[in-house]
């Protein structure tokens, strides 16, 4: 890779962060989170405080995705945080997948003992409760009550919730012990319909990522070894971070009758016979915020796509503690109102007037780090001339390294703001698409070529032909890749046909699979 990173490090530009992507990608990622006020440590292992700007981005994601989930016929509901242990025991594969990382509640009362609070032995729960790591089991139990007849199907529900998985190694947003997500769960009369649902929601995720997050993704089916515990088929969208690593940004599972047989989700069909329902589940989480950071961020912080930016346009008045300040603020308020009266992406524009009495330059750099798509500065001279000074966050600098601040008439800016936001959304998407495109190689045909590709500093992905081995043969492939710190990502839905030999086994290839390093 390296294309996105100049080899010669001439920094004529003074950046807002004290570490660049090129110097140390992991440190840069953390710097963005901290400097953009997205989240911070909580003192609780693996758990984070999501700060208003970070949570605002999540709320934007929720709003946009929730509308799509509802538009595809699903209803929201809420299931309990606590799940009886016995629910998990019903499905062996599911147990295997999650048993190692579950938080367990065993007591319901504390008592004072030697000056300390300890669980009261008298208050031990008869049956321990686990904090949900995912809700297939409880929701399946509900489905078995709700579904009696073929007329009750399909059941199409979704919930926005938090889940807990006791992860060994955590990273802000990408893998935290507690995270926020939505989980959709559906039950259908036929496997065909359930598969169709699985793919429909995969497509909802794909278009949500592309259109709202400006994040190009590859949608496809996960290989057998990467399946969700209990799933018949697992599909994912995979996004490429600027260091070339893959991030699984959303998953959709066809669960077949795994959970309907474990939870007894049966219905009487039109011929009067009992049948097992076919279920699906699908989810995206706050992990996506990490994806947005690593796809769009630059050495000055986050670049937030307008559709998910809590504030799309921030107006920064340059105040000087003079009587003129009042006039400048009034002028800015007028601009803010005029912007907010317009619609962009079929929603009201979100313009924000930063009235804080801090120095204008400091406020500006604060918004640069947070990634506000458009930053408008207004000083006395602008006021006098009826102008504004406009910064586009997606391209901050001119060729000479100076800030590319455009002075324009107030009316022109207001009139063009909607189009400007649309342009920025598109520009971020195009930039990210160009990046992923030039960092996927589809021409490597042998293991030597594969090793060479991945010996680069920041390799992207390979799309290779393979024979789709299963069982022990697949394990061998996975083991080989593991030695190279690589994983099979997915089999892209739109990959071309296979016409050669399997890069791993030499057998005739049947499809194409993505290989890369992953988060």
Contact footprint for RNA (CB under 7 A): 14-16, 18, 26-27, 30, 34, 41, 43-47, 97, 100-101, 133-134, 163, 165, 167-172, 175, 181, 183, 222, 226, 228-229, 234, 236, 248, 251, 283, 285, 300, 318, 320-322, 358-362, 365, 377, 379-382, 384-385, 387, 389, 405, 407, 482, 485, 487, 518
Cis ω for the linkage preceding 500 (within 30 of 0)? no
Minimum CB distance to RNA smaller for 285 or for 439: 285
Minimum CB distance to RNA smaller for 320 or for 438: 320
Minimum CB distance to RNA smaller for 41 or for 59: 41
At its nearest, how many Å lie between RNA and the CB of residue 183?
6
Q: Which of 33, 38, 41, 78 is nearest to 54 (CA)?
A: 38
Rounded Cα gap, residues 10 and 18, in angstroms: 15
At its nearest, how many Å lie between RNA and the CB of residue 318?
4
At its nearest, how many Å lie between RNA and the CB of residue 35?
8
3-state secondary structure of 180: strand
The β-bridge relationship of strands 266-268 and 246-256 is unpaired
Minimum CB distance to RNA smaller for 38 or for 344: 38
Distances (CA, A) of 262 to 157, 168, 230, 279: 19, 29, 10, 12
Rounded Cα gap, residues 373 and 425, in angstroms: 9
Minimum CB distance to RNA smaller for 137 or for 465: 137
3-state secondary structure of 252: strand
At its nearest, how many Å lie between RNA and the CB of residue 145?
23
At its nearest, how many Å lie between RNA and the CB of residue 46?
5
DSSP secondary structure letter of residue 212: I
Rounded Cα gap, residues 462 and 439, in angstroms: 8
At its nearest, how many Å lie between RNA and the CB of residue 109?
23
Residues 172/177/181/185 CA torsion (nearest 10 deg) = 150
At its nearest, how many Å lie between RNA and the CB of residue 340?
22
Q: How many helices (H) and strands (E) does the chain have?
A: 14, 28
Q: Which of 424, 428, 421 is nearest to 345 (CA)?
A: 421
Minimum CB distance to RNA smaller for 65 or for 498: 65
Sign of CA dihedral 52, 58, 64, 67: negative
Minimum CB distance to RNA smaller for 111 or for 358: 358
DSSP secondary structure letter of residue 208: I
Distances (CA, A) of 218 to 207, 441, 514: 11, 14, 9
Minimum CB distance to RNA smaller for 345 or for 519: 519
Rounded Cα gap, residues 275 and 148, in angstroms: 10
Minimum CB distance to RNA smaller for 456 or for 508: 456
Minimum CB distance to RNA smaller for 56 or for 301: 301
Minimum CB distance to RNA smaller for 150 or for 397: 397
At its nearest, how many Å lie between RNA and the CB of residue 461?
16
Is 72 buried (19+), middle (13-18) or exposed (0-12) by CB count in 10 A? middle
At its nearest, how many Å lie between RNA and the CB of residue 343?
28
At its nearest, how many Å lie between RNA and the CB of residue 196?
21
Write the DSSP string, 322-368: STHHHHHHHHHHHHHHHHHTSEETTEE--EEE----S-HHHHHHHHH
**Backbone conformation region of residue 105, classed left if phi is above 0, alpha if psi is from -120 to 50, else beta:** beta
At its nearest, how many Å lie between RNA and the CB of residue 518?
7
Minimum CB distance to RNA smaller for 264 or for 405: 405
At its nearest, how many Å lie between RNA and the CB of residue 403?
8
Compute how many other C-beta atoms are within 10 angstroms of the C-beta atom of residue 104. Answer: 12
DSSP secondary structure letter of residue 213: S
């Amino acid at each position: 890779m390296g294309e996105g990173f100049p080899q010669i490090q001439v920094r004529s530009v003074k950046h807002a962060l004290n570490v660049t992507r090129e110097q140390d990608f992991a440190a840069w990622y953390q710097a963005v989170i901290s400097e953009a006020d997205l989240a911070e440590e909580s003192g609780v292992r693996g758990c984070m405080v999501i700060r208003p700007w970070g949570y605002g981005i999540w709320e934007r994601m929720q709003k946009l995705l929730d509308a799509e989930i509802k538009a595809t016929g699903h209803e929201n509901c809420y299931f309990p945080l606590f799940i009886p242990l016995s629910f998990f025991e019903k499905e062996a594969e599911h147990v295997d997948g999650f048993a190692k990382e579950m938080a367990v509640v065993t007591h319901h009362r504390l008592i004072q003992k030697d000056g300390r609070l300890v669980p009261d032995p008298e208050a031990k729960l008869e049956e321990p409760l686990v904090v949900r790591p995912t809700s297939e089991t409880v929701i399946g139990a509900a489905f078995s009550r709700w579904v009696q007849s073929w007329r009750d199907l399909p059941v199409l529900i979704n919930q926005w919730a938090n889940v807990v998985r006791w992860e060994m190694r955590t990273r802000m947003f990408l893998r935290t012990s507690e995270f926020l997500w939505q989980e959709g769960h559906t039950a259908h009369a036929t496997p065909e319909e359930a598969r169709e649902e699985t793919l429909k929601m995969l497509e909802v995720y794909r278009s949500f990522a592309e259109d709202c997050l400006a994040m190009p993704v590859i949608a496809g089916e996960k290989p057998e070894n990467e399946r969700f515990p209990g799933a018949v088929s697992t599909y994912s969208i995979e996004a490429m971070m600027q260091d070339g690593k893959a991030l699984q940004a959303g998953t959709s599972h066809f669960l077949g009758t795994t959970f309907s047989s474990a939870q007894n989700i049966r219905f009487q069909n039109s011929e009067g016979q009992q049948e097992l329902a076919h279920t699906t589940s699908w989810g995206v989480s706050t992990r996506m915020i990490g994806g947005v950071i690593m796809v769009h961020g630059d050495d000055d912080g986050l670049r937030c796509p307008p559709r998910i930016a809590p504030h799309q346009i921030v107006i920064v008045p340059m105040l000087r503690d003079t009587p003129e300040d009042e006039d400048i603020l009034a002028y800015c308020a007028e601009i803010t109102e005029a912007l907010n009266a317009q619609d962009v992406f079929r929603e009201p524009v979100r313009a924000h007037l930063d009235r804080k009495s801090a120095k204008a330059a400091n406020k500006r750099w604060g918004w640069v780090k947070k990634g506000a798509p458009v930053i408008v500065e207004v000083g006395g001279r602008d006021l006098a001339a009826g102008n504004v000074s406009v910064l586009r966050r997606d391209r901050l600098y001119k060729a000479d390294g100076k800030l590319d601040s455009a002075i324009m008439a107030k009316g022109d800016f207001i009139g063009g703001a909607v189009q400007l936001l649309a342009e920025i959304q598109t520009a971020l998407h195009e930039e990210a698409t160009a990046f992923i495109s030039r960092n996927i190689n589809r021409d490597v045909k042998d293991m030597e070529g594969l090793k060479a590709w991945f010996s680069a500093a920041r390799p992207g992905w390979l799309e290779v032909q393979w024979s789709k081995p299963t069982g022990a043969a697949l394990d061998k492939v996975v083991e080989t890749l593991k030695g190279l710190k690589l994983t099979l990502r997915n089999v892209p839905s739109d990959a071309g046909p296979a016409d050669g030999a399997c890069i791993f086994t030499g057998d005739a290839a049947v499809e194409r699979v993505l290989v890369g390093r992953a988060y």
